[in-house]
């Protein structure tokens, strides 16, 4: 960016961010979804049936008692089969760290000077740390409809290799997000161990390449005057292995279950865990990656932070051999993770098509 251009480019960039322009009147038509994709009924039932699993102080500690470990493992497996979603409490990550991390995200979006934000803004999806608005495709100007969110995205594992690309401000960002990423990663590894054991592929199955990368995506949804016409995130399943989400204390996350949308109730200091496409594929369809979306509201800003555990780009993904037999034929072909990810980017909003290229028996796999 040339110094002379700076104020002008900066201003244009900041106009795109929905957090800078949401008070605009009249309501911008470019954010209005076609009738069949609108959220419709906003007051969906708040779901008290998405399982809430008590990890009793941390999944790790569960290893101290075999019975307790087996009980937790069974609950995680059942929830991943039936819902593809669950919440965990008593997960071992300190409440103080979680609330301070959410606070630093809020400071980032609401208090950072425009020029600091502008220096991180990029529409290049290959840029490792970037602030953008609407979808992550990097094609804001070509989108049919914009989505009502700004997003800060960057890798968060291994810390020493990625911390240097993170925002330098707010000043506590590195320390808090670093500590939180480390602890979330440990929790995710423990949950994956339990899943591996429960599936019968072995506790260590998801270590190394299958879970090598972790990406942090912080969503900022400003208050929206027209929540019934807009979406913070359209319906999708996550493309990765497993996601751990901090959803703060504002409603907005909904899961599609048995033909209807249900809200995932924000519980203080709970973390939401959801199965991504890779876990569905590796488990040969035994675990399910559920469709979800984020709706907006007219009264307060909402922040969510997703930690996406994902395979290395070159990792070969295929259903685990131990899960295939005469009565459970292989449902998906093997592929490299990067091929899946590229294909995913072209199928945004078309969840029914994402898996088509990877199915072996189109009529059986869902
Ligand atoms: O904001 C939320 O609660 C959901 C975020 C989400 O689904 C995602 O980032 O993939
Ligand atoms: Fe998601």
Closest-lying ligand to the alpha carbon of 265? 1
Does the C-beta of 217 come closer than 6 Å to ligand 1? yes
pLDDT digits (tens, 9 = 90+) for 10-61: 667 778 899 988 887 788 999 999 998 899 766 666 656 799 999 997 665 5
Quick one: which of 194, 188, 181, 227 has its CA closest to 211?
188
Residue 219 Cβ < 6 Å to ligand 1: yes
Q: Does domain 31-357 have CATH number 2.60.120.330?
A: yes
Residues 6+ apart with CB under 8 A from 225: 27, 298
Name the token pair of 319: 């259903």
Indicate whether this complex's ipTM tops 0.95: yes
**How far, in Å, CA of 234 to CA of 273, rounded?**
19
Where are the chain's structural domains? 31-357
CA of 275 to the centre of ligand 2 (A): 10
Residue nearest to atom 8 of ligand 1 (CA): 306
Q: Would you say the CB of residue 306 lies under 6 angstroms from ligand 1? A: yes
Ligand 2 centroid to 327 CA: how many Å?
32
Taking residue 252's Cβ as centre, other Cβ atoms within 10 Å add up to 22
Task: Answer whether 304 contacts ligand 1 (Cβ < 6 A).
Answer: yes
Residue 113 has pLDDT above 70, yes or no: yes
> What is the CB neighbour count within 10 angstroms for residue 217?
18
Six-digit token string for 51? 């399982």
Whose alpha carbon is nearest atom 9 of ligand 1? 306
Map residue 274 onto helix, strand or coil: strand
What per-residue string of b and e applies to 34-65 under the rule 16 or more CB within 10 Å gives b? eeeebbeebebeebeebbebebbebbebbeee
pTM of the model: 0.94
| 57: helix, strand or coil | coil
> 353-365 as b/e, with b when 16 or more CB fall inside 10 Å?
ebbeebbeeeeeb
How are beta strands 335-336 and 316-317 bridged, if at all?
Answer: antiparallel
List, for residues 131-160, the tens digit of each pLDDT value: 999 999 888 999 999 999 999 999 999 999
Query: What's the first-to-final CA gap in the chain, in angstroms?
Result: 47
Dist. CA 272 → ligand 1 center (Å): 10
Mutation probe of ligand 1 site: the residue of 233, 246, 344 with most atoms within 8 A of C-beta: 233
Instruction: Give the distance (Å) from ligand 2 centre to CA of residue 244.
Output: 10
240, 274, 292, 297: residue to mutate for ligand 1 pocket, most atoms within 8 A of CB = 292
Q: Token match 């996550």: residue? A: 238
Q: What is the pLDDT of residue 260?
A: 87
Which of 105, 219, 244, 254 is the best mutation target for the ligand 1 pocket, counting ligand atoms within 8 Å of the beta carbon and taking the most? 219
């Amino acid at each position: 960016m040339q110094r002379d251009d700076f104020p002008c480019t900066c201003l244009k960039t900041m106009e795109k961010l929905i957090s800078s322009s949401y008070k605009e009147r009249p309501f911008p038509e470019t954010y209005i979804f076609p009738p069949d994709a609108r959220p419709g009924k906003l007051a969906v039932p708040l779901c008290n049936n998405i399982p809430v699993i008590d990890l009793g102080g941390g999944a790790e500690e569960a290893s101290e008692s075999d019975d307790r470990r087996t009980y937790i493992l069974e609950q995680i497996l059942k929830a991943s089969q039936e819902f593809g979603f669950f919440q965990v409490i008593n997960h071992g990550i300190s409440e103080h760290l979680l609330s301070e991390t959410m606070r630093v995200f809020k400071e980032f979006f609401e208090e950072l000077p425009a020029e600091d934000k502008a220096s991180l803004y990029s529409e290049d999806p290959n840029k490792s740390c970037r602030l953008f608005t609407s979808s992550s495709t990097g094609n804001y100007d070509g989108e049919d409809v914009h989505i009502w969110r700004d997003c800060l995205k960057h890798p968060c594992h291994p810390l020493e290799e990625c911390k240097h690309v993170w925002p330098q401000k707010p000043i506590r960002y590195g320390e808090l997000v670093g500590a939180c990423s480390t602890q979330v990663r440990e929790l995710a590894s423990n949950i994956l161990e339990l899943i591996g054991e429960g599936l019968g592929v072995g506790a260590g199955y998801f270590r190394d390449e299958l879970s090598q990368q972790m990406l942090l995506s912080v969503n900022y949804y400003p208050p929206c005057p027209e929540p019934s016409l807009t979406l913070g995130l359209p319906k999708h399943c996550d493309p990765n292995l497993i996601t751990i989400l901090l959803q703060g204390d504002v409603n907005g996350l909904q899961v599609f279950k048995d033909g209807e949308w249900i809200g995932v109730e924000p519980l203080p200091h709970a973390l939401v865990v959801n199965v991504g496409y890779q876990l569905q594929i590796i488990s040969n369809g035994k675990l399910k990656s559920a469709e979800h979306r984020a709706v907006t509201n007219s009264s307060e800003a909402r922040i969510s932070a997703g930690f996406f555990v994902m395979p290395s780009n070159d990792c070969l993904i295929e259903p685990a051999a131990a899960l295939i037999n005469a009565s459970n034929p292989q449902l998906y072909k093997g592929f490299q993770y990067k091929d899946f990810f590229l294909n995913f980017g072209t199928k945004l909003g078309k969840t029914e098509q994402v898996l088509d290229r990877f199915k072996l028996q189109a009529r059986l796999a869902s």
